[in-house]
Amino acid sequence: MADINADWSADSNDAIHISLVTPSVGGTTSIHTFNPKFTYSIFGDEESIFGYQGLKINLKYNASDMRPGLQITYNKKFKAVGDIEPTDLKAVLEPFLPKTAFEKSSVFESNISAIPADWHPPGELFRTIEIGGETFEIWKGNLSDPFVQQTIKRIQILVPFFIEGGTLLDLDESEDDLGRWTVFFLYQKKQSTATFFEKSSSYIFTGFSTVYRYYMYTPTTPPQSPNGDKIAPEFTLPVDGVSFDTLPCRSRISQFMILPPFQSGGKGSIFYNAIFDYLYDDPYTREITVEDPNEAFDDLRDINDFARLRKDARFQQLKLNSGLKIKPKGPAPTKLFDTKAYEEIRAQMKIAPRQFARVHEMYLLSLIPQSVKQAPLHEDEEETSKKSLPPPNKEDEHIYHLWQLLVKQRLYRHNKDALAQLDRGERIDKLNETLMGVEVDYGRLIETVNERSEKQKAIEIGKGKGILNGEWKEGSCRRRRRGRCLGALEFTDDIKECFKMYSRFCIQMNEGGNEEKGEWMNGNVNRRDERDERG
């Protein structure tokens, strides 16, 4: 049986080829071809397809409207023996693709050739951007729009392909529920001179993101009925005569994807910032959140939120109270900064509490001289020498200790139940270890933002070329990432797993770590999971 599996099994990640194509004389021309990153949610945990030799699954997408066409070829197919049968590829893929994807190749080619030259993406044009001499457009629509919904149906298989744990949207919900979804499409707009290509659309699909609006309850003070009128204790949405679009909401970024061929040049950062700008300007959005982001999206979000906030004059005033004293024994000080101003600015910036706290900590750390902080780790040396730095003064050291206390307090609150199971000495040790990891991770992100800022300044004064607005590539800074377990207690509620993660982090630090190149910016959220980020 093992020999049969070896001879007749194919790696599903390698067997599937995704192509963006345009119509051409005699068929199609491929612009980009790439493989999926994950297929376990479709073909099982082993990501293996049984029953074929020389298997190729070609999923072609018309580069503009993303109409799919599926072609399956193989050299040999396994003949069923009892219960052992080859994988029914059509049956497996049908839940993830529209019926039109299974039509003959000639029908697919004919349909995409018929698309008019003036075709444009669904929804309305939200923003036009120039990136490195290329033009990109962001289009915005609502999932209740049939054309937006059609595009989502066509591309939904890309969610499990490129977002770990990604789930499909439920498109069979009511129109009111679908109306809560805002969809953003990122397109490259080409200026082509080819005679045949002029007859087809000049748009090339680059990525997309979805945002869901949750009703956000805002308690009133004083009570809603000062005249004593009785108020019904319960009501059900939607309320007759009241549109959900006019109610206060928490807007959550759901799926966020940039296709592999376009994951460079800062497109993900620019796309994220455009979505943030839209939600920030929306008068009904009270808070912008992201649910279940992966590690790379965490980085992208942290970097861009930090770059945004540190330029805000109000945010810059949220500094630590240097007048506080830390006693060797007794309760630790709690009012480390102006909490009232802090909360007012957080609400104005519409950033979720935990994310705002992390960016605030990052900003405060960036103000502390390097001579005081722990030495950063670099890929070409174990530790940066402090001999060339000016000696630390007592005031800077005091601010640094206040910063450490601030982070420890947040980490403790976030993991209170898990830490309560440990002895006092163990709690202190684990908090100190996690604090070190958080500081290293913050330092990496701060350095990335600083490098990006310096490059942008060089461009603005004519020392560089191209547009670097929002540019970020994972691994661009010298301080490479050594694993997201850097803040172990912060990222899981299982304290034992935290300690294991931190041990692996230390091993990675000693061995040089492992890093995936490229700008992976895919993140997914299951809308049904309504956990918030109140940390």
Of the CA atoms within 13 Å of residue 524, those in its CB half-sphere come to: 15
Q: How far is CA 60 from CA 65, 75, 99, 345, 363, in A?
A: 12, 20, 14, 47, 45
- If we measure between CA atoms, which residue out of 67, 68, 66 comes closest to residue 58? 68
The reply to whether 459 sits in an annotated binding site is no
Would you call 328 exposed, middle or buried from its count of C-beta atoms within 10 A (0-12, 13-18, 19+)? exposed
Residue with structure tokens 């005031």?
395
Degrees (nearest 5) of the Cα angle 441, 377, 438?
20
Residue with structure tokens 């003959």?
104
The reply to whether 436 sits in an annotated binding site is no
Q: How far is CA 362 from CA 209, 341, 353, 404, 411, in A?
A: 27, 18, 14, 11, 14
Q: DSSP states of 390-458 as a string?
A: PPPPHHHHHHHHHHHHHHHHHHHHHTHHHHTTS-HHHHHHHHHHHHHHHHHHHHHHHHHHHHHHHHHHH
Query: Which stretches of 255-393 are DSSP H helices?
Result: 267-281, 295-309, 313-316, 339-349, 353-366
Strands 203-215, 181-189: pairing kind: antiparallel
The reply to whether 258 sits in an annotated binding site is yes
The reply to whether 141 sits in an annotated binding site is no
- Residue 61: left (phi > 0), alpha (psi -120 to 50), or beta? beta
How far, in Å, CA of 467 to CA of 70, rounded? 37
The reply to whether 265 sits in an annotated binding site is yes
The reply to whether 294 sits in an annotated binding site is yes
The reply to whether 1 sits in an annotated binding site is no
The reply to whether 256 sits in an annotated binding site is yes
291 assigned to active site: yes
Of the residues 109, 291, 474, 519, only one is catalytic, namely 291
The reply to whether 355 sits in an annotated binding site is no
Neighbours of 114 (CB within 10 A): 10
Residue 198 DSSP code: G
The reply to whether 327 sits in an annotated binding site is no
The reply to whether 267 sits in an annotated binding site is yes
Residues assigned a catalytic role: 291
**Annotated binding site, which residues?**
256-258, 263-269, 294
Binding-site members for acetyl-CoA are: 256-258, 263-269, 294
